[in-house]
Chains A and B, each alone.
Chain A
Amino acid sequence: MPIDKNQVKKVAKLSRISLEDNKIDSLSKDLDSILTFVEKLNELDTKEIKTLKSIADKTLEARNDIVDDGKIKDDILKNSPEKNEDFFIVPKVIE
């Protein structure tokens, strides 16, 4: 049994997703079966295997240090659920 209800709650907290109490049981069952399914990989010995650098067959390209973006404040703020002319607005963080 790879995952139980308490771990599900912890992971939900890490993912910042609220879970309804009546859904936690079925969700835990689903996650448990998925994790059991993926544990099939334990059949393989991969100690000596190195991962791929990337699935893209190329090397990292870099751009020149020129300013060619930004200055689009209205576009940036346009879709925000709460904002004023200059800022995004969110409920306060409690520190």
Chain B
Amino acid sequence: MVDLNNISLTEIVKLVKLKKVSSLELTNHYIKNIEKGKKLNCFITTCFDETIKKSKTFDAKKNYDSLLPGIPIAVKDLFCTKDVKTTAGSKILENFVPTYESTVTSNLWKEGAVLLGKLNCDEFAMGSSNETSFFGNVINPIEKDLVPGGSSGGSSSALAASFTPATIGTDTGGSIRQPASFTGTVGLKPTYGLCSRWGIVAFASSLDQAGPMTKNVEDCALMLEAISSYDKKDSTSINKKKENYSKNLNKNIKGMKIGIPKEYRVDNMPKEIEQLWSKGIDILKKSGVKIIDISLPHTKYALPTYYIVAPAEASSNLARYDGVKFGYRSNKGKNLIEMYENTRGEGFGDEVKRRVLIGTYVLSSGYYDAYYLKAQKVRKLIKKDFDNSFKKVDAILTPSTPSSAFKIGEKTSDPISMYLNDIFTVPVNLAGLPAISLPAGQDSKGRPLGLQLISNSLDEQRMLNIAFAIESEIKFKQNLNRWWE
């Protein structure tokens, strides 16, 4: 009997196509895992009856000519799913049931997949440890008291614990890549505009991107192929032909040039991360890749830039949560203004409030030029750094995170220390570039560490190929003892 918990999505799809396993069998397997895994608190909503129904329907038809035939998949609770509760990890949407389906999840169902449930996440995607969710924090399956990363913490945890064979998250400042790194899985943030944002609960419009989270690179290519599409309902969606990322996946990276940015070597960087980075560099050298030292001089300004731009856009995007059209409404308040204030005061958690207030402040009269406008100008400088580098190199290699997963509660008292988790991932979102995190090793405590590849705009195929090559040399293995069952 195949151990479904330890094979890849690609292999599962093969099995389905060979009729060796049915969609219903898969669904039942994941349902069992999920029901035994409630401790991890990965799910906000499950819809098992519907999933079973859909699996049965799939098995009854005989068309397996799709990318994800009958595959049960759970998705981050930031994607609006028709008739299935969508909360964004927030009390203010605790009972919101969309009448529409996001484009990205539509693409999954079009390719034959069926919805398992909605995964926990930091509230409105604001967080790096999945500790800000109204529905409670998520636990990392690697170890009992560890955070799974965030904001796609429910996704990374569920994936690592095999509650779903693959999943999708969103990445605004690292929310796919950082949790991937913390859980020993693969996470990819596409070029801005490659995947549609229509139907995704918006956090920061110029930074948000949906992306795949998988157990290996091959699966990642497959999922990216499934979800990427041009969507004319999204004005920022790039109009280009869909690429066959999985068919064109290969390890031919000889002769490529990979850049190593000196500014990513930060003060007090843990030795293990240095070593991991060197390991990656060595692997690339052995594969015939030329390693080039590059400079991204404005790297240290990326986090401050991000913490102006993202909250500013969020403060405006979250203004629609006012208790009028959907979501929670406070019953305190004698008039409209009081209703607004109480609804949002009671409905939003602390981190969301912090960011909305910062965002409102940096946009307000008298401060706009000094903060928001300034940040947008620095953003251009950060992008130019990358543009200049890509004249010399094909991709850039960095660590994904400045540490492995930390303990629950360890960083919740100081927002800045939490923000520093995203130091390597944030510049990528500011520049709108694609990046992937793949597991590359473990620290002395056995906690996974990831390496990040950053590529030029729309260069996902090459980036996947390089990741594929590194992965096959690293041979990262993670055997979890399922302690939560």
List the interface of chain A (C-beta within 8 A of B): 3, 7-8, 11-20, 23, 27, 30-31, 33-35, 37-44, 46, 49-52, 54-58, 60-61, 63, 72, 75-76, 78-82, 88, 90-94
How many contacts between A and B, using CB within 8 angstroms? Answer: 177
| A94, B335: Cβ atoms closer than 8 Å | yes
What 1/0 flags go to B398-431 for Cβ under 8 Å of A?
Answer: 0000000000000000111001000000000011
Q: Which residues of B contact A94 (CB under 8 A)?
A: 335-337
| A12, B357: Cβ atoms closer than 8 Å | yes
| A41, B357: Cβ atoms closer than 8 Å | no
Known: A13-B341, A27-B350, A57-B238. 12 other contacts (CB 8 A): A11-B360, A11-B361, A16-B341, A38-B307, A38-B371, A55-B383, A56-B193, A57-B457, A78-B99, A80-B325, A81-B324, A81-B329
Using known A-B contacts A15-B357, A17-B353, A34-B354, determine if residue A56 contacts B238 with beta carbons closer than 8 Å. yes
Q: Report Cα–Cα, A86/B193, bound state, in Å.
A: 37
Q: Which residues of A contact B42 (CB under 8 A)?
A: none
| B99, A17: Cβ atoms closer than 8 Å | no
Minimum Cβ distance to chain A for residue B230 (Å)? 10
| Closest chain B residue, CB of each to CB of A89 | B324
CB contacts under 8 Å to A, within B47-105, are: 95-97, 99-100
Using known A-B contacts A34-B307, A46-B378, A54-B206, determine if residue A41 contacts B301 with beta carbons closer than 8 Å. yes
| B334, A91: Cβ atoms closer than 8 Å | yes
When the two chains form the complex, which single residue of A14, A40, A58 contacts B360, counting CB atoms closer than 8 Å?
Answer: A14
When the two chains form the complex, which single residue of B328, B329, B416 contacts A33, counting CB atoms closer than 8 Å?
Answer: B416
Q: Report Cα–Cα, A54/B239, bound state, in Å.
A: 15
Q: Report Cα–Cα, A14/B25, bound state, in Å.
A: 53
| A52, B357: Cβ atoms closer than 8 Å | no
| B360, A61: Cβ atoms closer than 8 Å | no
Q: Which of A7, A18, A72 has the most CB of B within 10 A?
A: A18
